Structure 1
Amino acid sequence: MSSVSTTPKRTADIVRRTLESEIVSGALGPGERLDETVLARRFEVSRTPVREALMQLTSGGLIEMRPRQGAIVATVTAKQLFEMFEVMSELEAQCAKFAARRMTTTEHEALRNAIEACQAAADKGSADAYYDANRSFHEAIYAGSHNSFLEQQTTALRNRLSGYRRIQLHRGARILSSLNEHKQVLAHILAGDGDSASSAMRGHVMIQGDGFIDLLSSLNLGDSAQSRVGT
């Protein structure tokens, strides 16, 4: 990979995104060591942005920092992944329910703007741009819940699942279906219908049936891990 002339923060983000994609896709397997010096040489950057990228991946749970070993790709089973998405769907559903009751007019406008950004990214067919716009949409709802503890906990788990949520957007027509689901959530929030907003958000986030199987098929979790999910 050639060096990139940009800010240290942007460079760290490029390194993080690349490693995140490789971990989620299975190109970097569980237990594999990520050496700062080797990575700095690979990306043709100093160790500072590499260290920052590894810290971000650690906070997101994709890698672990172990004594005398350094950064190691974390092990995530299919069962653990399913359970995390299950909890995520409930947290986001609660955010949407509160947001429908508590969002201000100004916050409604910000949510509309986030939807417009999602639409623009979808029109371009850019999964990365859509992911960023999608994140803004969800974070606007977290903030609109007006419950700082719920917002913090939801954001923390979302960060943990960010790599897995990103990879979904590269599968089939997921961007368009996601956008339509966003519009349903938006309509319920603007109408002040907390129960419907909650239900729509839960369905939007939760991976079920074919969707979950599709995600598993794109990950290197192993047959034994998949068999522990159940039916």
Structure 2
Amino acid sequence: MIIRAADCIFESLIETIMVGKLAAGEPLVEKSLAEKFGVSRTPVREALHRLAQAGLAERGTRRAYFVREMAPEDLSELFEATGEIESALAALAAKRMSEIERRHLMLIVDSGDACDDPTAYSDINRQFHEAIKSGARNSTLASTLDELSMRTFAWRAANFREDSRRLASSRSEHRQIADAILNLDVEMTRRLVCSHVASSYLVSSDILARRKRELPVKPNA
């Protein structure tokens, strides 16, 4: 599979922002980024547009991009919406997944149990949620979740990288969700997925608060 330049730039910028190397308010200059990545401005422009869609950047008065400051209430609403949509899809998956799909989901859970690398586990986590979304067989809800997932992906990935306890708790939650789906327990599946997303939010909220504490104090004008 050929990795597009815009994808590489997008993922690199997400990583840089999420580890705190780019603080809220810092400019994202097309020309400078193009020179840094050795590409034209076109893939940079696409990556910045996607970054804005993900809620990590926004445009100023001169249409230049800068790193967006995430307000605590924005993060709360984002994860609340994600939990509602994803739990609805999971409930449908508990009813609609084939036996083969259910067994495949358990294999993904098993692979997560055997993984201690935060980056690799982040990919397994994505596979787990994609399998449930696919098994729900509702394209309208799935497209809504895709939009929300694009905005929460960086936060979820940071969960595993910045909180050593989250990897273990996520494994346990995945196992419980998969067991509920395997047992065709619709309401239990819904509740567990809501709780799973809420757990991710709590870690993300801690990360956001830490980011704000680590910001340098601006001198008075």
**TM over 0.5, shorter chain:** yes
Aligned to 1:144: 135
- Cα distance in 1 for residues equivalent to 2:93 and 2:73: 30
Are the structure 2 counterparts of residues 57 and 101 from structure 1 closer, same or farther at C-alpha, using a change threshold of 3 Å? same
SS state of the match for residue 69, structure 1?
Answer: coil
Q: Is the 8 A contact 1:33 1:69 kept in 2?
A: no
Residue 90 to residue 47, structure 1, CA distance change in 2 (3 Å): same
**How far apart, CA to CA, are the structure 2 residues paired with 1:155 and 1:36?**
27
Shift of 1:65: 4.1
Match of 1:229 in 2: none
Deviates more, 1:96-105 or 1:40-49: 40-49
Residue 176 (structure 1) aligned to one of 168, 171, 181: 168
Q: What SS class does the counterpart of residue 62 from structure 2 fall into?
A: coil
> Hey, what does 2:197 align to over in structure 1?
205
- Deviations 1:46-95 (CA, angstroms, capped at 9, x unpaired): 43443342233233222224563332222320111012112211221111
TM-score (ref. length: structure 2) = 0.84
The CA distance in 2 between the partners of 1:118 and 1:208, in whole Å, is 16
Q: Residues 129, 152 of structure 1: CA spacing in aligned structure 2 closer, same or farther, 3 A cutoff?
A: same
Q: Separation in 2 of the partners of 1:107 and 1:206?
A: 25
Aligned positions of 1:7-156 closer than 5 A: 7=2, 9=4, 11-65=5-59, 68-120=62-114, 122=115, 125-156=116-147
The residue type paired with residue 35 of structure 2 is: R
Structure 2 residue aligned with 1:3: none
CA contact (8 A) 2:6 2:46 kept: yes
Instruction: Give the direction of change, closer, same or farther, for the CA distance of 1:55–1:221 in structure 2 (3 Å limit).
Output: farther
Which secondary structure state, in structure 2, belongs to the residue aligned with residue 160 of structure 1?
helix
DSSP 3-state at the match of 2:11: helix
Mapped partners of 1:112, 1:154: distance in 2: 22
Q: Which moved more, 1:190-199 or 1:102-111?
A: 102-111
Aligned residues: 214
| Cα-to-partner distance string for 1:100-127 (whole Å, 9 max, x where unaligned) | 111112322332333234234x2xx221
> What is the TM-score normalised by the length of structure 1?
0.80
Tell me how far apart the structure 2 counterparts of residues 222 and 84 of structure 1 sit (CA, whole Å): 23
Identity %: 34
Which runs of 5 or more structure 1 residues have no equivalent in the other structure?
1-5, 224-231
The residue matched to 1:219 in structure 2 has which SS?
A: helix
Match of 2:219 in 1: none
Aligned partners of 2:9, 2:205: CA distance in 1, in Å? 29
Deviations 1:138-162 (A, max 9, x none): 0111121122111111121111111
Deviations 1:144-189 (A, max 9, x none): 1122111111121111111111111111221121011101000000
